[in-house]
Amino acid sequence: MSEQRITISMNVLKDCLGLGSHEQLVVVADDDKRELAESVYEAGKRLGAETVLMIMKERTRSGEEPPAAIAEAMAKSDVAVCITTHSMTHTAARKKAAAAGTRVATMPGMTDDMFSQGAITADYGQVKILTEQVAALLSGSRNVRIEKDGLSLSFSTEGREGILSTGLYLNPGESGNLPSGEGYIAPLEGTASGSIRVDGSVAGIGALRSPMVLTVEQGRLTAAEGEGGDRLLEMLGAGDGRLLGEFGIGTNNKARITGVVLEDEKVYGTIHVAFGSNNTFGGVVAAGVHIDAVVMKPDVYLDDKLIMRGGELL
């Protein structure tokens, strides 16, 4: 077990989750992420917390629920850290744990490299400031338009609130990804139309060698052309998984495109769209799947006002 990884894990537990020696920590992992989870488990013990490690069979897709015993343990702990192959961020288990007051950090697709470099090393005080500004802009807007390479995708966000993922989850019920840095919102279902060129990465597929063009009509993904397009449609299924569920803006200047969406969607200069569940952050789609697609250096308009030009926030 790497001492460096245990040290970094201790810093993350203290600085990002405020773990105290009197608290209960549950570390959730699947078989593939057991080794990383064991470092966090060891870090929790060294900080004096009552620490439990729970290993489950790997889920088949992001957004799939964990076993009931894990969901129950998360809801009864002070802090939960989920290091899994597929994301637990948009699960009822994460939502229920947060509602019960648990501070939850999800680390889908976390790698050894990501534990020591890139987004995890950011100044999270700075990330928090920029993320708050982005989320406020999203909350104050009614319409979003994304333009890149002659393609345009637009949708309504009327009545929806921007959500923060700052990387700091210090108060009861706060939760989000680690590493982090994004402001995001649930588009109004059925309002999205147009096309977007995805050239960063796609969850479950990885970094793209050539772009994928996604076409959306009446809020629903109708075509995915290019490398990995068929695989994306297959992962989303034929039902509500194809509904546009999220729009997000990356706010972490240390994040890199690695092929792991957990880090990719946090990269400053990118935006991402996701299809599937959004009922955990203000939408009404509960599809049992949530797949993010990252776009590099687009132009973004909120209510026809340019807020991002070629990836630079104005």
Domain boundary among 116, 142, 164: 116
Same domain, 99 and 127: no
pLDDT digits (tens, 9 = 90+) for 252-278: 999 999 999 989 999 999 999 999 999
Same domain, 145 and 200: yes
Same domain, 271 and 283: yes
Question: What is the C-alpha to C-alpha distance for residues 169 and 17, in angstroms, rounded to an integer?
Answer: 5
Measured N-to-C along each axis, helices 34-46 and 3-15 cross at an angle, to the nearest 10 degrees, of 60
Q: Which residues contact 129 (CB under 8 A, 6 or more apart)?
A: none
* Per-residue confidence (pLDDT) for residue 1, from 0 to 100: 77
Domain boundary among 116, 139, 167: 116
* Per-residue confidence (pLDDT) for residue 116, from 0 to 100: 83
Same domain, 80 and 135: no
Both tokens of residue 131?
A: 């993320």
CATH number of the domain encompassing residue 23: 3.40.1830.10
* Residue 103 domain boundaries: 3-116
Radius of gyration over alpha carbons of the chain, in Å?
A: 18
Same domain, 128 and 197: yes
Instruction: Output the pTM of the full model.
Output: 0.86
Place of tokens 């700075």: 126
Number of residues written out for the chain: 314
Is residue 248 within 8 A of residue 269, CB to CB? The reply is: no
Short-list 30, 89, 98, 28, CA closest to 63? 89
Tell me the residue ranges of DSSP E strands in the chain.
24-30, 50-56, 79-83, 103-106, 143-148, 151-156, 163-165, 175-177, 182-185, 193-198, 201-202, 206-207, 212-217, 220-226, 244-250, 270-276, 290-296, 299-302, 305-309, 312-313
**What are the pLDDT tens digits along the chain (314 aa)?**
789 899 999 999 999 999 999 999 999 999 999 999 999 999 999 999 999 999 999 999 889 999 999 999 999 999 999 999 999 998 999 999 999 999 999 999 999 898 888 898 888 889 999 999 999 999 999 999 999 999 999 999 999 999 999 999 999 999 998 999 999 999 999 999 999 999 999 999 999 999 999 999 999 999 999 999 999 999 999 999 999 999 999 999 999 999 999 899 999 999 999 999 999 899 999 999 999 999 999 999 999 999 999 999 99
**Coil, strand, or helix at residue 36?**
helix
Amino acid at 157: T
* Per-residue confidence (pLDDT) for residue 264, from 0 to 100: 96
Same domain, 97 and 134: no
Domain boundary among 85, 116, 147: 116
What's the gap between Cα 30 and its chain centre? Answer: 18
Same domain, 99 and 145: no
Amino acid at 295: V
* Per-residue confidence (pLDDT) for residue 2, from 0 to 100: 87
Same domain, 51 and 89: yes
Same domain, 111 and 143: no
**Domains in the chain: how many in total?**
2
Same domain, 142 and 276: yes
**Coil, strand, or helix at residue 280?**
coil
Same domain, 62 and 128: no
- Report angle CA 102, 276, 58 to the nearest 5 degrees: 60
Same domain, 26 and 144: no
* Per-residue confidence (pLDDT) for residue 90, from 0 to 100: 87
Question: What is the C-alpha to C-alpha distance for residues 38 and 249, in angstroms, rounded to an integer?
Answer: 32
DSSP 194-242: EEEEE-SEETTTEE-SS-EEEEEETTEEEEEEETTHHHHHHHH-SSGGG
